[in-house]
Amino acid sequence: MIELEDIGDLHDPVMIAAFEGWNDAGEAASSVLEHLADVWGAEVVAALDPEDYYDFQVNRPRVVVEGGNRRISWRTTRILVARDTSLGRDVIIVQGVEPSFRWRAFAVELMELAEAADVSMVVTLGALMADVAHTRPIPVTATSDNEDTRHRHGLEVSGYEGPTGIVGVVSDAATQVGIPSVSCWAAVPHYAGHSPSPKATLALVGRLEELFDAPIEHDELEDDARAWERGINELAESDSEVAEYVESLEEAQDTAELPEASGDAIAKEFERYLRRRGTDESGTSGPV
């Protein structure tokens, strides 16, 4: 870890992390961190040494000009601190690129920082391409392996099995050192997932507001989300196959989100069916 300045004491800090790359469809997750850093005035306090974790043929350094001077900017993962945020607590922002190698050491370094700063929760953000309609609210799934955290925030337990990215590794590393972790994933329409997706970014910001029960300034995100949706609408209007496909996705989502499609509603309806059947067959109702 390259320390750029002393972090100092933090007030009830949480860590929020996202990474460009495999975990970041439509740049939705990494854009959340850019937004948070901007609205909260976060300052860079440290960075991971890029020599340890990145293949520079994959993540090439860039030549930048500042004040008339040319220098090399190395792609890496930066640590920012936002103080006096709208959450009522300080936030450590982990903003970077999915590493090329040494993932376990990478996660250990981040958890050493989290433990030293007395972080109470690690929140990882991701986005994946999915069969969802751009005209509907972007689905965001929030999960945790910590039972108390699930009950406190109304989260789900993840049943996913399969390949994972650095987001999954960091979440697991937090669990291993005893820090509760929450993973939030936005589902980005796969037919519009290769361009920045501000609507998915806005959905993730909204999920953070729910998680911490506190407002986060949206700034221009809502305008950007509406402009993005209008652009995809124009694409669909110019291509009948795309329009037909979007319509099928809308119908599928609308059906899945109907109140009567929920597990509790289905169970109650089945109970009513059994009671009605008992009345029809015996002339008297069964136990209520």
Each residue's pLDDT expressed in tens, for the chain with a length of 288 residues: 776 677 888 999 999 999 999 999 999 999 999 999 999 999 999 999 999 999 999 889 999 998 889 999 888 999 999 998 999 999 999 999 999 999 999 999 999 999 999 999 999 999 999 989 998 989 999 999 999 999 999 998 988 888 899 999 999 999 999 999 999 999 999 888 677 999 999 999 999 999 999 999 999 999 999 999 999 898 888 878 888 888 888 888 888 765 544 445 445 545 555 655 555 555 443 443
- Max Cα–Cα distance, the chain, nearest Å: 91
pTM of the predicted model as reported, rounded to 2 decimal places? 0.85
**How many Cβ atoms sit within 10 Å of the Cβ of residue 12?**
13
The pLDDT, as a whole number, for residue 264 is 53
- Among 147, 148, 182, 157, CA closest to 168: 182
- C-alpha to C-alpha distance for 128 and 22, rounded to whole angstroms: 8
- Among 102, 65, 63, 82, CA closest to 15: 82
Q: Give me the torsion for CA of 145, 89, 81, 28, rounded to 10°.
A: 50
Phi-psi region of 134 (alpha: psi -120 to 50; beta: other; left: phi over 0): alpha
- C-alpha to C-alpha distance for 180 and 144, rounded to whole angstroms: 8
CA–CA distance from 111 to each of 17, 147, 148, 192, 211 (Å)?
Answer: 12, 20, 20, 34, 21
- C-alpha to C-alpha distance for 28 and 90, rounded to whole angstroms: 23
The answer to whether 207 and 213 have CB atoms below 8 angstroms apart is no
User: What are the helix and strand counts (H, E) for the chain?
Assistant: 9, 10
The pLDDT, as a whole number, for residue 257 is 66
